């Protein structure tokens, strides 16, 4: 499979290819301090400088089974990510420079998805008590007690704080297939923003609070697989003014984590082409 790391500029409406690889590369995050992106490849994290673009390995200590759930803190000083160990996926936090990370999640499996704007809390999804249902949780960046926000109403995923920190966007299939939902940061006021035939995943509010990016799969798609015709869509924070801005072959790994430029002017994503 050939991976293309691309950047879409909102002002011009144009996309450009930053990096291509014959390896599977996933889930670009934009460094808030500028100058690079963060991706994963083969269970490890890599930086991709914007100029010249190339893969630079990041030391993650003994956490060497990283998946595509990772992201920088708002101030750029820290990286949170998920990696698998014996009991399943766990959430780690480490310095942006790399090194041995600290485990934050109290139980497994836990999959990181975003930081609160003040950098004090992480939002993630997890399965608990042997159940298969996936719910949304938050926890302090130093660990402690986790706060469960959804209560098994459906499979939930992709949570991310709004720019203000007062809301959390996420996707949930409680009405039959994955759609985009929003709730207050304490879990109250849960509501679906719209309903359509698309299977909609991974909402990412822009840093300026002006819009939300999400991934739309074809109707009837189970889960969030790779290598399907997908669309990247933008909408207003209230779910209005929805429009497709890109269509291509993608899916799992395209925008699993936070992917906006720090000023909200562009976003990064992965396009995939099946190997011939």
Fold of 2-273: Neuraminidase (2.120.10)
Mean pLDDT of the region 41-50 = 97
**Its pTM surpasses 0.85:** yes
Q: Is the pLDDT of residue 83 over 80?
A: yes
Residue 1 has pLDDT above 70, yes or no: no
The residue-averaged pLDDT of 152-164 equals 96
State the pLDDT at residue 131: 84
- Structure confidence by residue, pLDDT tens digits, 224-243: 999 999 999 999 999 999 99
User: Tell me, what's the pLDDT at 171?
Assistant: 98
Query: What DSSP line would sit under 9-32, residue for residue?
Result: ETTTTEEEEEEEESS-EEEEEE-T
Confidence class of residue 130 from pLDDT cuts 50, 70 and 90?
Answer: confident
DSSP strand pairing (88-95 vs 102-103): antiparallel
Supply the pLDDT for residue 142. Answer: 95
Residue 274 confidence (pLDDT): 67
Mean pLDDT of the chain: 96
Model confidence at 34, pLDDT cuts 50, 70, 90, reads: confident
User: 193: helix, coil or strand?
Assistant: coil
Task: Reduce the secondary structure of 119-148 to three states and give it as a string.
Answer: CCEEEEEECCCCCCCCEEEEEECCEEEEEE
Report how far residue 142's alpha carbon sits from residue 19's, in angstroms, rounded to the nearest whole number. 35
Q: Is the pLDDT of residue 138 over 90?
A: yes
Mean pLDDT of 125-151: 95
| Mean pLDDT of all residues in 210-235 | 97
**Confidence at residue 132, expressed as pLDDT on a 0 to 100 scale:** 84
pLDDT for res 202: 98
Among residues 68, 102, 62, the alpha carbon closest in space to that of 85 is found at: 62
């Amino acid at each position: 499979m050939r991976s293309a790391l691309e950047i879409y500029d909102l002002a011009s409406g144009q996309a450009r290819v930053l990096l291509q690889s014959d390896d599977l590369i996933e889930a670009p995050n934009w460094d808030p301090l500028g100058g690079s992106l963060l991706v994963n490849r083969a269970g490890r994290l890599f930086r991709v400088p914007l100029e010249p673009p190339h893969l630079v390995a990041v030391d993650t200590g003994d956490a060497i089974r990283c998946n595509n759930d990772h992201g920088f803190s708002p101030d750029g000083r820290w990286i949170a990510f998920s990696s698998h160990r014996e009991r399943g996926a766990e959430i780690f936090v480490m310095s942006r420079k790399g090194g041995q990370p600290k485990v934050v999640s109290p139980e497994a499996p836990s999959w990181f998805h975003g930081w609160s704007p003040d950098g004090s809390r992480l939002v993630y999804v997890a399965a608990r008590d042997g159940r298969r249902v996936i719910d949304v949780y938050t926890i302090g960046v130093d660990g402690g007690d986790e706060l469960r926000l959804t209560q098994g109403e459906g499979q939930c995923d992709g949570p991310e704080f709004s720019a203000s920190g007062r809301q959390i966007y996420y996707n949930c299939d409680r009405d039959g297939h994955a759609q985009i939902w929003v709730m207050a940061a304490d879990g109250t006021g849960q509501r679906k923003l719209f309903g359509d035939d698309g299977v909609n995943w991974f909402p990412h509010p822009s840093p300026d609070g002006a819009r939300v990016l999400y991934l739309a799969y074809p109707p009837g798609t189970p889960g969030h697989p790779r290598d399907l015709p997908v669309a990247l869509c933008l909408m207003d924070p209230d779910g209005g003014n929805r429009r497709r801005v890109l269509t291509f072959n993608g899916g799992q790994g395209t925008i699993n984590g936070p992917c906006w430029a720090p000023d909200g002017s562009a976003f990064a994503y992965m396009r995939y082409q099946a190997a011939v």
